Homo-oligomer: A and B are copies of this chain.
Amino acid sequence: MIRRDFHRMLLSATALALLPLRGFSQRRGRQLRVNGERLNRLMRELREFGKTPAGGVSRVAYSDADIAARAYIMDRMREAGLSIRVDTAGNILGRREGREPLPPLLMGSHIDSVPDGGAYDGNVGSLGALEAAWTLADNDVTTRHPIEVVIFQNEEGAVVGSEAMGGTLDVSELDRVSQSGVTIGEGMQRLGGDPDRLHEAVRPAGTIAAYLELHIEQGGFLERDAVDIGVVEGIVGIRWWDVTVDGFANHAGTTPMDQRRDALLAGAKFVQAVNRIITSTPGRQVGTVGRIEALPGAPNVIPGQVQLSLEIRDLDAAKIGRLFERIRAEAGVIEDDTGTKIGFTDKVEIVPAPTDPRIRNVIDEVATALGLTHQRMPSGAGHDAQSIAPVAPIGMMFIPSVGGISHSPKEFSEPQDIMNGANVLLNTLLRLDDMRL
């Protein structure tokens, strides 16, 4: 079981005073605009790295395509006047200096993909951040805080670079074999990092003023409701259990129906119970059984054991716990009905990572000022922002994702929406720069 409750403890310590300073800059009235044409050209160029015949992108972390795409990004960062370094975890940081000796405002995302994935997940936030910094250079704007554009390594497999920065990457992860076939540690070296000096990549609480991430929604709400910007309330917590149903395997021909202890019949009741309990409770929680196997798994043998997964997500960790207890109680009823035993093993617990309430308000204001419609929403998917939450206030904004399709070659967001998102990111950054962080 992986338990990640660091940021719950730390958040109170980092609840920095985001109070507006008197004497707002001249930018309060008018909004700076990114170069949408350039941003969408960058999107087209970046998708060439690892492009698949289906029009998607296979650019798993540490692959040749990933390394080539990182070189492309660093070239563009140089064009944008950023000074580049790769931290010991292999994250790329492009820095633009500020006027005052303050911790930097960080913004970015990732450019690695799942195998046979799409060209928008991660790319929009990475290039949106680069474009925002480039726009500052184009307009000769020097902010109070330094600005850092970050490209986190290996978000998809999972949030490795950002956890290294947040200080929560377990060193045992370095030995885990990644999608590209090399270990995480070997991958870091391929990216120019140094796993032996991993601690140098950690950014302690207080050393980042705030972290902002633009991302595609990966759900269908914004597109369906024709809303321009999703203002993320937080990244949901996830708990995942392995569930084992033990019955008794027997001959499907000779065992009468009333003498069976059919683990799959019990498993089927369990799957339905999960759905019923999750959907009959008010709220936006989700519960999923994604994996199931019956053993021995022959058409002519009554299943003696069924193994399945249970995953529950919600912004409220206590609610996840209450839902699980209801499911466990229902499992007891199923045990009695079917003569089986149902056991649960905790596998993963990721506590919710709420965004900073004051940053949410700034995003709302910026979207309104830009004439964009906006809506509060949770993020059901994980993001690098959750790894930074332990050490800094975070904010996230979503743009519509057509059909809610993600991790697929069919992933698509409109160029106009990508530009809108980058404009919200840029102007949120500028308003935060004016605040006491």
From A23-31, A99-107, A217-225, A429-437, the one touching the partner chain is: A217-225
In the bound complex, do residue A290 and residue B252 qualify as a contact, i.e. CB atoms below 8 Å apart? yes
Name which residue of chain B comes closest to A405, CB basis: B250
Q: How far is the CB of A312 from chain B (nearest CB, A)?
A: 10
Residue of B nearest to A241 (CB): B299
| Cβ B301 vs Cβ A297 within 8 A | no
CA distance A288 to B252 in the complex (A): 6
Q: Say which residue of B262, B264, B290, B306 sits within 8 Å of A300 (CB atoms).
A: B290
Contact A275 B257 (CB under 8 A): yes
Task: Tell whether, in the assembled complex, residue A290 and residue B286 are in contact, meaning their CB atoms are under 8 Å apart.
Answer: no
Task: Give CA–CA (A306, B236) in the complex, Å.
Answer: 27
Of the residues B264, B298, B313, contact of A253 by C-beta under 8 Å: B313
Question: Which chain B residues lie closer than 8 Å to A302 at the CB level?
Answer: 288, 290
In the complex, are the beta carbons of A272 and B269 less than 8 A apart?
yes
B253, B259, B294, B407: the one within 8 Å of A251 (CB): B407
Contact, CB under 8 Å: B380 / A286: no
238-297 of chain A: CB within 8 A of chain B = 238, 240, 250-259, 262, 264-265, 267-272, 275, 278-279, 284, 286-294, 297
Contacts A268-B271, A272-B265 hold; do A255 and B219 have CB atoms under 8 A apart? Answer: yes
Assess the B299–A288 pair: CB atoms within 8 A: yes
Query: From A287, which residue of chain B is reached at the shortest CB distance?
Result: B257
- A405: B residues at CB distance < 8 A: 250
Interface status of A382 (Cβ within 8 A of chain B): yes
Which chain B residues lie closer than 8 Å to A135 at the CB level? none
Closest chain B residue to A407, Cβ basis: B251
Tell whether, in the assembled complex, residue A256 and residue B269 are in contact, meaning their CB atoms are under 8 Å apart. Answer: no
Quick one: given A268-B268, A311-B299, are A286 and B252 in contact (CB under 8 Å)?
yes
Beta-carbon nearest neighbor of A258 in chain B: B279
Q: Are B256 and A219 in contact (CB under 8 A)?
A: yes
What does DSSP make chain A's interface, helix, strand, loop or mixed?
mixed
B residues near A267, Cβ cutoff 8 Å: 268, 271, 292
Interface size on A, residues (CB 8 A): 61
A123 within 8 A of B: no
Residue from the list B219, B250, B268, B269 in contact with A254, Cβ < 8 A:
B219
Q: Are A380 and B290 in contact, CB atoms less than 8 angstroms apart? A: no
A168 within 8 A of B: no
Contacts A265-B275, A268-B267, A272-B272; A255 near B292 (Cβ below 8 A): no
Is the Cβ of A257 less than 8 Å from the Cβ of B286? yes
Tell me if A309 is interfacial: C-beta within 8 Å of chain B: yes
| CB of A227 within 8 Å of the partner chain | no
CA A259 to CA B405, docked complex, whole Å? 12
A284: chain B residues within 8 A (beta carbon): 256
CA distance A404 to B302 in the complex (A): 14
Minimum CB distance partner of A218 in chain B: B254
**A257 and B278 form a contact (CB under 8 A):** yes
Within the assembled complex, what's the spacing in Å between the Cα atoms of A253 and B285? 9
CB-based contact B290/A255 at 8 Å: no
* B293 near A293: Cβ-Cβ < 8 Å: yes
A290 interface neighbour in B220, B270, B297, B347, Cβ under 8 Å: B297
A interface list, Cβ under 8 A from B: 217-221, 236, 238, 240, 250-259, 262, 264-265, 267-272, 275, 278-279, 284, 286-294, 297-303, 306, 309-311, 313, 347, 379-382, 404-407
